[in-house]
Structure 1
Amino acid sequence: VTLCTFHHQLVHEGGWRVELEGKEVRFFRPDGARLLWPLRSAVHGSTARLEMMQSTLGIGPETNRSRWNGKTPDYASCVTAVRE
């Protein structure tokens, strides 16, 4: 599994774990709990309050953008770090 630099560091230094089972990739938190993909929540009633709160906090379409800088991982550095 190829990960961006940030998530690669979480796996090797942050205690996160990645497992492959067939074609399924599973991620586990440092406490061992499996990271489950979020389910869509059902929103009932007006969303005006939520939208106001998000705008106050600066939450928008770009908020969850990855920190990956688009560069190909430096595999030589990764191997060197593992060997040291």
Structure 2
Amino acid sequence: MVDIDPNGTGLPGIEQLRVIVGAVMTIGLIMSVLALIIAAIVWGFGSNSSNPHLASRGKTGVLVACGAAIICGASVTLVNFFWDVGQAV
């Protein structure tokens, strides 16, 4: 039987890589907020100008921005969940 666990100290630079990944997650969340604001503005302009195509694009943008924020925020939990599932196989 082989029992191998992730080693957080096995390679140099692991801690710096964790910091970089955390910074990228922060940038992803900030960009999601920006995309949500822009999409909401587009949705509002489309609704107020009676332009259903623009309003539809704005609604889609709001949903995509929210989905991106969910994925960025839950990425660590999702990876840990699937790691646990993989360990149970």
Q: TM class by shorter-chain length? A: under 0.3
Q: TM-score, normalised by structure 2?
A: 0.25
Give the greater-gyration-radius structure (CA).
2
Q: From the two aligned structures, give the one with the greater helix fraction.
A: 2
Q: From the two aligned structures, give the one with the greater strand fraction.
A: 1
Q: TM-score, normalised by structure 1?
A: 0.26
